[in-house]
Amino acid sequence: MARDVSSGRGSDTNAPIVTTDQASRPIRPQNLLDAISDIQQFYVIESKGQDIPGEFLTIGRTVDFFKIGAKSGFAEGLILILLMPFFAFYLNPFVLKAPDLFTRSLFSTLPYIMVIVNTLLCSYIGRYYIGKITRKAINSLLTGRTMSLLLKAFLIYVFYLLLHRVSTPHRVWAAAKHFGSLSESLYYGYLKILPQMVPVATEIAVIMAIAAIMPYGMVYFQDAWTRWKAKRNLRTISAK
């Protein structure tokens, strides 16, 4: 009898599995891809009809998604700030000079590569916008990225606008004359790119604003489309 009971306990597949705290503790996402992977996992669970309470995504993990979005926006803006002056104020006017349409388009797009890729990734997760947890995670991620991009776009525009206004010929020469034999070339080169400062700053600010807002639009558009299809299917079933 004792043997039967022992055997029964050994083969009981419904017995609870006890895990250690280290194994059960959720791993915090470290970057944008980790955050999207977590959102995909939430989607798989909620798309199967399992009801997960909203408290499953704790305040700490919600803040983690916000931070990742903010870091992503910061990195995108930083790379853009570093690359755009080189392409817009040096490569195009002084090296390429009169490039063809393809070359000009290619080198004009390169500084925005990271912004474009991350914007497409954030737009892609709109398909997962269902359920309490998935919505909460996506909203936190996109809010962090949007705030970071919009703030950086504003600062970039203000910086170039102020720089353009204070860059009088007298002040430019006062700074350029300290470079010895390069003084005249720096002076005339700077005056050559000066008219392009505000248009380039405007372009950067507009593209960063679009990159910040576009994922929101894609997410909510896909959500509205999914809801509309669900209602249409429900009406079709009810009519039968």
- The residue among 80, 68, 70, 67 whose CA lies nearest residue 159 is 80
Note whether residue 181 is domain-resident. no
Note whether residue 213 is domain-resident. yes
Note whether residue 42 is domain-resident. yes
Note whether residue 210 is domain-resident. yes
Q: How confident is the model at residue 63 (pLDDT cuts 50, 70, 90)?
A: very high
Indicate the residue type of 173: W
Summarised one tens digit per residue, pLDDT across range 92-123 is: 777 777 777 777 777 778 888 888 888 888 88
pLDDT at residue number 157:
93
DSSP 138-181: HHHHHHHHHHHHHHHHHHHHHHHHHHHHH--HHHHHHHHGGGGG
Supply φ then ψ for residue 225, to 5 degrees: -65, -40
Average pLDDT over residues 53-75: 88
Note whether residue 184 is domain-resident. no
Q: Which residues contact 147 (CB under 8 A, 6 or more apart)?
A: 70, 73
Place of tokens 């994922």: 215
Note whether residue 147 is domain-resident. yes
**Token pair of 38, please?**
């977590």
Range of the domain at 50: 26-155+206-224
Q: Which residues contact 142 (CB under 8 A, 6 or more apart)?
A: 69, 122, 215, 216, 219
Average pLDDT over residues 127-153: 90
Q: Judge contact between 133 and 54, C-beta under 8 A.
A: yes
**Token pair of 198, please?**
């505000």
Cβ atoms < 10 Å from Cβ of 122? 27
Note whether residue 238 is domain-resident. no
DSSP state at residue 237: H
Q: How confident is the model at residue 21 (pLDDT cuts 50, 70, 90)?
A: very low
If one counts the domains in the chain, the total is: 1
Note whether residue 54 is domain-resident. yes
